[in-house]
């Protein structure tokens, strides 16, 4: 009998009845349901099964069908990784809510929110059926998931990682991702993060950019962050052209700033800016510019989201601000991060970090 430890057996990865041998990749369509047209629909998954054994991770986008920034990030990830050089298994789901994606909407044709429908049910509503396939075939096979979201239409989010509060391992993974801000927040019932936690699957949620739009800052931050997490997990080489990352700011308190009146806003500040309590954020006035009301920051912090549409009703959310220590230091870091991304841009493709059109 040999006393030598045997190398762990590295088997084919099986998904939806298809086998993916080590060191290869495959695109697999998981059957979901039959639609009104009578045709069946499928969830598209790319499996990259590494040559060497390791953890199983999934990256998903568009669980809200119009939040397509994750689709762009996943396309780039799919392009730069090769399973021959990987350890472990990566499942890429560019569009989780295939129905909302088709109609450019957040929810499903049954008007349900996929991210409140987990774990789902094969005999349930349309949302329940998608949630069931996504959860049982993808989430439950992984030890870590990265789910990518964007702000709603006419809103922009600074790249930020959201994690469950009080989980040390998640904080380390979020630090490895290296988005400018980490927000620790409670989990919501029926959400992917809540059901994942129940099944011991670690989840990072990336919020970045705007629904139905692509922006270079979000895509670059997302692609680099996913790669840094995979390197941290030992799935890819850490020195694969990954830039040094500065330490993200952490926050467990955020606040919305709403418009005090209906009218037209002129925004002075944007996502990524450091603000102090009392700093002017925007002014909102009537149709002739009359009776302007100033909107000031209620706290010291960093702007992590803002409305891009200047037409507002009273009570509309205009800014989302995270309370952080040393806001100016965080703001300067975000600015240099953005500068680095745009410095690498080929001539003619230059683009500002965020639209400055409305800035007075």
Residues that bind Zn ion (CB under 5 A): 64, 67, 149
Rounded-to-integer distance, Cα 248 and Cα 252, Å: 13
Residue among 113 and 316 whose Cβ is closer to Zn ion: 113
Q: HEC states along 114-176?
A: HHHCCCCCCCCCHHHHHHHHHHHHHHHHCCEEEEEEEECCCEEEEEEEEECCCCHHHHHHHHH
Residue among 64 and 269 whose Cβ is closer to Zn ion: 64
CB of 322 to Zn ion, least distance (A): 18
CB of 39 to Zn ion, least distance (A): 27
CB of 98 to Zn ion, least distance (A): 15
Rounded-to-integer distance, Cα 106 and Cα 264, Å: 26
Rounded-to-integer distance, Cα 117 and Cα 200, Å: 18
CB of 74 to Zn ion, least distance (A): 15
Would you call 331 helix, strand, or coil by DSSP? helix
CB of 149 to Zn ion, least distance (A): 3
293: its two tokens: 């009301």
CB of 194 to Zn ion, least distance (A): 14
Asked whether 169 and 204 are in contact (CB, 8 A), the reply is no
Residue among 61 and 120 whose Cβ is closer to Zn ion: 61
Residue among 48 and 96 whose Cβ is closer to Zn ion: 96
Residue among 65 and 327 whose Cβ is closer to Zn ion: 65
CB of 64 to Zn ion, least distance (A): 4
How does strand 317-322 pair with strand 311-312? unpaired
Residue closest to Zn ion, measured at CB: 149
- The end-to-end CA distance of the chain, in Å, is 79
Q: Give the DSSP H/E element, type plus range, for residue 207.
A: strand 202-210
Residue among 137 and 207 whose Cβ is closer to Zn ion: 207
CB of 53 to Zn ion, least distance (A): 33
Residue among 97 and 265 whose Cβ is closer to Zn ion: 97
Rounded-to-integer distance, Cα 248 and Cα 16, Å: 38
Would you call 71 helix, strand, or coil by DSSP? helix
Asked whether 198 and 59 are in contact (CB, 8 A), the reply is no
Residue among 67 and 210 whose Cβ is closer to Zn ion: 67
CB of 297 to Zn ion, least distance (A): 25
Rounded-to-integer distance, Cα 64 and Cα 41, Å: 17
**Contacts of residue 31, Cβ cutoff 8 Å, sequence gap at least 6:** 16, 40, 41, 42, 133
Residue among 208 and 227 whose Cβ is closer to Zn ion: 208
What does the CA dihedral 239, 243, 244, 247 come to, rounded to 10 degrees?
-120
């Amino acid at each position: 009998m040999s006393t030598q430890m045997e190398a762990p057996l590295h088997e084919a990865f099986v998904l939806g009845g298809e086998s993916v041998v080590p060191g290869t990749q495959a695109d697999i369509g998981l059957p979901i349901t039959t639609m009104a047209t009578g045709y069946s629909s499928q969830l598209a998954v790319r499996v990259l099964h590494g040559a060497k054994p390791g953890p199983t991770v999934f990256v998903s986008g568009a669980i809200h069908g119009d939040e397509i920034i994750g689709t762009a990030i996943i396309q780039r990830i799919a392009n730069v990784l090769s399973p021959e050089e990987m350890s472990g298994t990566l499942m890429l789901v560019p569009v989780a809510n295939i129905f909302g994606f088709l109609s450019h909407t957040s929810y499903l044709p049954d008007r349900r929110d996929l991210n409140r429908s987990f774990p789902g049910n094969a005999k349930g509503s349309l949302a329940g059926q998608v949630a069931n396939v996504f959860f049982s075939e993808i989430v439950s096979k992984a030890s870590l998931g990265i789910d990518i979201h964007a702000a709603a239409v006419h809103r922009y989010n600074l790249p930020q990682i959201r994690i469950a509060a009080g989980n040390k391992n998640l904080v380390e993974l979020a630090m490895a991702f290296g988005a400018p801000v980490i927000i620790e927040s409670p989990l919501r019932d029926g959400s992917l993060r809540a059901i994942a936690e129940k099944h011991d699957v670690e989840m990072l949620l990336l919020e970045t950019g705007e629904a139905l739009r692509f922006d270079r800052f979000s895509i670059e931050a997302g692609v680099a962050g996913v790669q840094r997490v995979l390197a941290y997990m030992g799935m890819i080489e850490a020195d694969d052209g990954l830039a040094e990352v500065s330490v993200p700011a952490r926050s467990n308190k955020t606040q919305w700033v709403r418009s005090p009146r209906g009218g037209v806003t002129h925004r002075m500040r944007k996502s990524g800016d450091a603000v102090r309590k009392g700093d002017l954020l925007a002014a909102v006035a009537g149709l002739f510019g009359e009776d302007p009301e100033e909107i000031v920051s209620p706290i010291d912090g960093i702007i992590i989201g803002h409305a891009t549409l200047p037409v507002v009703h009273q009570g509309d959310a205009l800014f989302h601000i995270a309370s952080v220590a040393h806001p100016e230091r965080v703001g300067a870091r975000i600015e240099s991060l953005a500068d680095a991304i745009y410095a690498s841009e080929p001539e003619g493709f230059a683009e500002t970090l965020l639209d400055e059109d409305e800035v007075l």
